[in-house]
Structure 1
C-alpha cells in the first residue's frame, strides 16, 4: 500500500475543480457511493475555497487509506494566513467573516467522520479531515497504548517515496521503524522497502541488533538511514537506536530530549559498537520521528496548547512550518495514553 500523500499548492481558483474531480474519482474507486462521493466534493470545495478567500492560498494533502474494516480518504489543509483565536466560535453555523451564510466549517464537520482544526493568530491554520465510505461509521478504539499519525510526501515530481515507516506489535510491546533511503525515487524506495521487509521478519528484539540484521539484508541496495524505537510494557521503557539522520524526540510534558543517532549508512558502513538508549516509557508522552525532509530546529513549546491536540494536528503543524521541499519527507507523531 502506498502510504504517501498527494500534495498541491493552491494559490489559484483554477486548481479547485481539478482537485475536486481527482478526489471524487478516488472516492468512487474506494467504493464510496455516488452520494458519499458528492459529500466529499462539498468538503473539498469548502477547504480549497477557504484557502483562496481567507489565506491567499495554502497546501492540500490527501491520500486513500485501505484498512481491513473500511476505506477512507484523509485530507490535510494547511495555510499561513492570519489565523484566528476562537476555534469553537468559527465552527458554529452562521458565523462568517466575509458576509456569507457561514455554513462552511459546520458542513465539513457534519459530513466527515473526523474533523479537527488548530489555529493561532498570525500563524495560520491546519485542518485534518477523515472521510470514510460510510458516514455513520464509528472509528475503532485505540489499541496498545499508542495513538499515532504519519505524514509522508514524495520528493517533488517523484512517483515513489524514498522514506518509509512501520509499526510492529511484539509480545512485549511495540516497535517503530522510520527510515530514509539515500537520495530519492525508485532506488531509495527499494532500499527502504527492503529494510521494512527485514524489520518485519527479524527475530531480533533489541533495536541495535535489529539494525545490524537489516544492515546485512540490504547490502545490495543503495542503503538508508533509520531509527528504531521499541517499547517494553513490563519494564516500562523505550529502547532507541538509530544510524544516520532520522530525528527522534520524546516529550514529557513541556520537557523534551532529542536522541542522537550514530553516524553511518545501513547497508554500507555502520559502527562496530551500537548501544541502545533506554529511557522511561510513560503515559502522555509524545514521540516524534522524522526524516531530513523536515528541518530539525523546531519546538512544540512555540505552539499554544498544541500538547492537547491529536497526533494528526501536531504532525501537520510541524509539517507546515518545517517542510524543506527538497527531498522526500516523513513525520511520525505518537501519543502514549
Structure 2
C-alpha cells in the first residue's frame, strides 16, 4: 500500500505540480485518455478553488493517491481501480448546496467548477463548516462506465462503505502504516498495522501483516493475529488491530495489540474499542475478540498513532453522515501529529432497505 501524497496549495504553480503527479498515477493505472482527462479536471478545479477562495495560511492542500478501498468488483467481475483526490483547508467554509449549483460563484467566475468535479467523479463527497473549513473527496476511475459518475456512497457495492487515508512521515517516501480489507461470505475483515518506527523497515513489517491477513485460514480477528504473530518475527514488528464486520448482524468483533486506536461513533455515543499491550512479531499476551454492537448510523474509525488520540467530532454536526473519505480527511487534517506515519480508516454499514409489505390473500 502506498501513502497519499500531500501538495500544499497556496499559489497556482502548485496546482500544476499536483496535476502532473495525478497524471503519472493515471498512466500507472492504465487510465484511458478520457479518464485521465477527468482526473486532470478534478485536480485543477479543486486546486484552483483553494488558491482563489482559501489562500495562504489556511492549511490548504490536495491529497492524491491510489484509492485502496475502491477496488470493488465491477458488474463484469473485473476490479475498478481509482485515484482519490482530497481537498483540505481550514478556511471560512462554504455553502455547499449553493456552490454545487452551476452558475453560483463568489469569485467572479462562471460558477461551474465544483459541479463539474461532482459530475466527473465516480465518487464525490464534501463537508464544510463556517469558520472550520472544507473537505472535499473525489475519486476518478479507470473504468468507462459513466453510469456511476458522481455516485453517492450509498450506491457503492457491498454491505459496507470504507475509505482510508495514509501519509508517510515527513521526509519519507514510504509509509510504515498499512491497511487492508478481506471480503468473506459472512463478514469483511478490516486490518490496520503500524510497523515500529518508520521508513522501509517499518513498511516491510506492515506489508507483511497485510500479506498474512489474506493468507490466514482464521476468520476471527484474535485468531488471525495470533496466527500471524510467529510469522512476523523476522520483521521489526507492528502494532495491529483487526475487525470482523458481520454482514447479517449489526455487530463487529475487534482484537488488537499495540496503539492502533478504534472507535465507534454516532450522534449519541462514542465508544472506544479495547486493544491489548504488545507488538505483533515481538511480544503479545494472548489476544481475545471483543464483540461490539454496531448501532445504526454509527461509523467505525481506526487510526494509527500518527493521529492525536483525544479528538472529537461533537462540533461538526452532519459530518458523520458524509462520505467516509471526507470523515477520514477531516480527522487527518485537524489531528495529524506531523512527525510520524499517519493512517485513518473509516467504515460505515449500509442500512438495509425496509422490507416490502406482503400482500394479504
The 10-residue stretch of structure 1 (150-159 or 178-187) with the greater mean CA deviation from structure 2: 150-159
The unaligned stretches of length 5 or more in structure 2 are 72-77, 351-361
Are 1:116 and 1:313, in contact at CA under 8 Å, matched by a contact in 2?
Answer: yes
* Residue number in structure 2 paired with 1:55: 54
Shift of 1:76: 0.4
* Residue number in structure 1 paired with 2:66: 64
* Residue number in structure 2 paired with 1:30: 29
* Residue number in structure 1 paired with 2:240: 226
Shift of 1:80: 0.5
Are 1:161 and 1:188, in contact at CA under 8 Å, matched by a contact in 2?
Answer: yes
Question: Size of the alignment, in residue pairs?
Answer: 334
Are 2:178 and 2:207, in contact at CA under 8 Å, matched by a contact in 1?
Answer: yes
Report the secondary structure of 2:135's partner residue: strand
- 1 CA distance for matches of 2:247 and 2:30? 39
- 1 CA distance for matches of 2:131 and 2:8? 20
* Residue number in structure 2 paired with 1:154: 168
- 2 CA distance for matches of 1:236 and 1:97? 44
Q: Deviations over 1:198-243 (max 9, x none)?
A: 2222223332222222111101110110111123456653221111
Shift of 1:284: 3.0
> For residues 16 and 307 of structure 1, do their structure 2 counterparts lie closer, same or farther at Cα, with a shift above 3 Å needed?
closer
* Residue number in structure 1 paired with 2:45: 46
Q: Pairwise mapping of residues 202-213 of structure 1 onto structure 2 (< 5 A)?
A: 202-213=216-227
Report the secondary structure of 1:320's partner residue: helix
Are 2:7 and 2:62, in contact at CA under 8 Å, matched by a contact in 1?
Answer: yes
Shift of 1:12: 2.7
Corresponding residue to 1:99 among 108, 132, 135 = 108
Are 1:231 and 1:281, in contact at CA under 8 Å, matched by a contact in 2?
Answer: no
Report the secondary structure of 1:301's partner residue: coil
Corresponding residue to 2:317 among 287, 304, 312 = 304
> For residues 213 and 235 of structure 1, do their structure 2 counterparts lie closer, same or farther at Cα, with a shift above 3 Å needed?
same
Shift of 1:65: 4.5
Corresponding residue to 2:258 among 237, 244, 260 = 244
Are 2:238 and 2:279, in contact at CA under 8 Å, matched by a contact in 1?
Answer: yes
Structure 2 length-normalised TM: 0.85
Q: Deviations over 1:80-104 (max 9, x none)?
A: 10112x3111111221112222222
- Confirm whether residue 124 of structure 1 aligns to residue 133 of structure 2: yes
- Confirm whether residue 90 of structure 1 aligns to residue 92 of structure 2: no
The CA RMSD over aligned residues, in Å, is: 2.2
- 1 CA distance for matches of 2:223 and 2:51? 50
Are 1:254 and 1:301, in contact at CA under 8 Å, matched by a contact in 2?
Answer: no
Q: Deviations over 1:273-295 (max 9, x none)?
A: 43322222444331100001111
- 2 CA distance for matches of 1:205 and 1:42? 42
Corresponding residue to 1:178 among 172, 192, 201 = 192
> For residues 29 and 186 of structure 1, do their structure 2 counterparts lie closer, same or farther at Cα, with a shift above 3 Å needed?
closer
> For residues 29 and 207 of structure 1, do their structure 2 counterparts lie closer, same or farther at Cα, with a shift above 3 Å needed?
closer
* Residue number in structure 2 paired with 1:190: 204
Report the secondary structure of 2:283's partner residue: coil
Q: Deviations over 1:242-285 (max 9, x none)?
A: 111000001244212112311111111112x4332222244433
Report the secondary structure of 1:221's partner residue: coil
> For residues 185 and 125 of structure 1, do their structure 2 counterparts lie closer, same or farther at Cα, with a shift above 3 Å needed?
same
> For residues 19 and 336 of structure 1, do their structure 2 counterparts lie closer, same or farther at Cα, with a shift above 3 Å needed?
same
Report the secondary structure of 1:302's partner residue: coil
Shift of 1:307: 2.1
- 2 CA distance for matches of 1:127 and 1:215? 38
Are 1:127 and 1:313, in contact at CA under 8 Å, matched by a contact in 2?
Answer: yes
- 2 CA distance for matches of 1:299 and 1:239? 23
- Confirm whether residue 80 of structure 1 aligns to residue 79 of structure 2: no
* Residue number in structure 2 paired with 1:13: 12
